[in-house]
Each structure stands twice: as C-alpha cells, then as structure tokens.
Structure 1
C-alpha cells in the first residue's frame, strides 16, 4: 500500500494571512485538527497549522484575533509523495516526530495521518509493529554525536521518494 491508497482527499486549506481565530473557526466547522496553508504562488511551499500550534501561540500570550496563521504555522512542512509506501510513511513520521502530512505531487492531492495508517491498514498490528521497530527503524539514518561533532544523516539518499516543501 502507498500514501495515495489511504490518504484523505478532502483537505481544508487556509490563507497565511488569516488570523488564528479564523483558523480555529474553520477547524471547528469542518471538525479537523489541521489545516494546510495555501501557497502564495506556484513556486512557494505549502505550510501547515495544527491545533497544537494554535494552543502554543495562545499559551505564549498571542491574541488569536490579531495573530496571523503565518506567524505560528510550520513552513515548509514535510510532505509525502503519493507513491510513498506506508512503511516509509511510518518511518518518516517517527523520525520527524509528526502525525500528519500533506500528500503532494506537483499539487496538493490529500493528507495522510497516523489515524489513516491505523484505520486503513494492518501495519500497526502487534506483529508488524514489533517487526518495523526492531528491524526497520534501525535502518533509518539519524543524526548522532561522534567525537565531539554531529554527524548529519543523509535523508535524501535513504528516502528518495519523499520531499519537503
């Protein structure tokens, strides 16, 4: 299975110059926890704003009525190719510490989340989780401290099927 097999096609977007109060109203209206932030142009990257981003902004005394989405969103956000395997999506989510990502190939096609993986596949059965964790996650590159310097992992070489931006 791949991202396009399990992604949610109905994606809700918002302009980066909307306020976070407007974003929360859109989230509430559509019963979603994440919005994709529209690109300003075809060359621009997509962004993402979550309920967690909004909660952090409010906790940091940002006024939701005058704080813009662009001030608290993540941009560029990590995106997945529609042909990326579920196994690689799981690895990406674990390494990047994310739970949701837009599916993009030249344009926004959908969104894939941990919930999609859990509900639409059998990848998170106890047997597969143990297999993925013990044998495959260790194959992923990771940054590590060695001899007083950081060695930076070669993500692009390992996961050529995903992109950021």
Structure 2
C-alpha cells in the first residue's frame, strides 16, 4: 500500500501532518525532525567570533543566548546586511546588534506543518526549538525548512500549492528551497 498524505485538524484548530502506511498513522512534530546539537553564541560575543564559528563548522546560523535563554538568531544574511554592507567593524560589533529578534521560537510538540506555516508567514527558514521552563526558554533544537524539505518534501509541495492558489509568490530564499526539493 502506498503512503497516503493527509491533513488532520487538531483540537486546537491546527492541522497536523499525517502519513498513513499500511493502516498505521504517523504525525510529524518539530521534535521528530529538529537538529538537537545546536551551536549557539552569547549575545555579547563579537560578530567576528560568530562568523569564525559559522565558517569553521560550515553552518548558516547561530542561535543567540543570554543566560541560557534564546534571545535571537544570527544568520549569514544578517552579517552581510548589517555588518559588511553597513561597514561595521566585526571585531567591535556584538552579535546582539545584528541578530534577528525577537526570535520566533517553537516547541518540540508543535505539528511540523504548523512550524512550516510559521516559516512561510514570517519569511524565515530557521526556527529555534525551546522547552518552556518557567520564565526561560531553554534551547533544545533547531528546525530548518531545508531539513523539512529533505525529510518530508510532500509537505513543502502542499505549501507551494497553497501559495499558487492564493496567487502569492513565496520569498526568494524560501522559493529556492522549494525549487531545489520539488520538481
């Protein structure tokens, strides 16, 4: 029996992504696909330090922390636009001056489809995953649109069709991911 993709409306009004294979059901959550070993940087560290980490590890973003609490995210694009193009000194500029904030974060139990919708709505490709404990937001992972597309391209294809039905065009950065993974 071929896998069947369907959307299921949850109790909270959100839609969960379901795959049925031979009668069994599997609903993907953010926790199912998130990267758990996330590299983070302190908000007071310099852009040069953050860029060196990103270059050495060949990654496109760092989650920014203050006292183990997620306060932002810094991407290659942030550095290019807010440091290089603005002619700021990366040795003197703290990450907190160039990071994207406030961060849009999700919990590990959120339906994967809802996380992807957030990415599309806010025109972003990366979401820090936090476990809410009291006042803090402890970092437990990172989910990216690229990871989702690699693991579940049908979900990305469905969202592409939604854009087309609404006669909207996705942001270029998101369109690149769609076009790479969806034929």
Match of 2:94 among 68, 71, 74: 68
Structure 1 counterpart of 2:112: 86
Q: 2:55 aligns with which of 21, 28, 32?
A: 28
Task: State which of 17, 32, 56 in structure 2 corresponds to 1:5.
Answer: 32
| TM-superposed deviation, 1:83 | 1.1
Distance in 2 between residues matched to 1:55 and 1:135, nearest whole Å: 34
Contact 1:19–1:65 (Cα < 8 Å) also in 2 = yes
| TM-score, scaled relative to structure 1 | 0.73
Distance 2:79 2:160 in 1: 34
Structure 1 residue 108, shift from structure 2 partner: 0.8
Two-structure CA RMSD over aligned residues (Å): 2.2
Equivalent-residue separation in structure 2 for 1:90 and 1:129 (angstroms): 8
Q: Which has the higher strand share?
A: 2
Equivalent of 2:73, from 33, 43, 48? 48
Q: 1:100 aligns with which of 122, 126, 145?
A: 126
Return the alpha-carbon distance in structure 2 between the equivalents of residues 130 and 27 of structure 1. Answer: 30
Higher RCO (C-alpha under 8 Å, 6+ residues apart): 1
Alpha-carbon deviations, 1:103-151, whole Å to 9, x = none? 111221100001111111133464x345544679x9xxxxxxxxxxxxx
**Ranges in structure 2 where 5+ consecutive residues have no aligned partner:** 1-27, 133-137, 169-183
Secondary structure class of the residue paired with 1:118: helix
Structure 2 counterpart of 1:123? 154
Structure 2 length-normalised TM:
0.66
Question: Residue 42 of structure 2 corresponds to which residue in structure 1?
Answer: 15
Query: Deviation string for 1:76-122 (max 9, x for gaps)?
Result: 20001111112111211111110001011122110000111111113
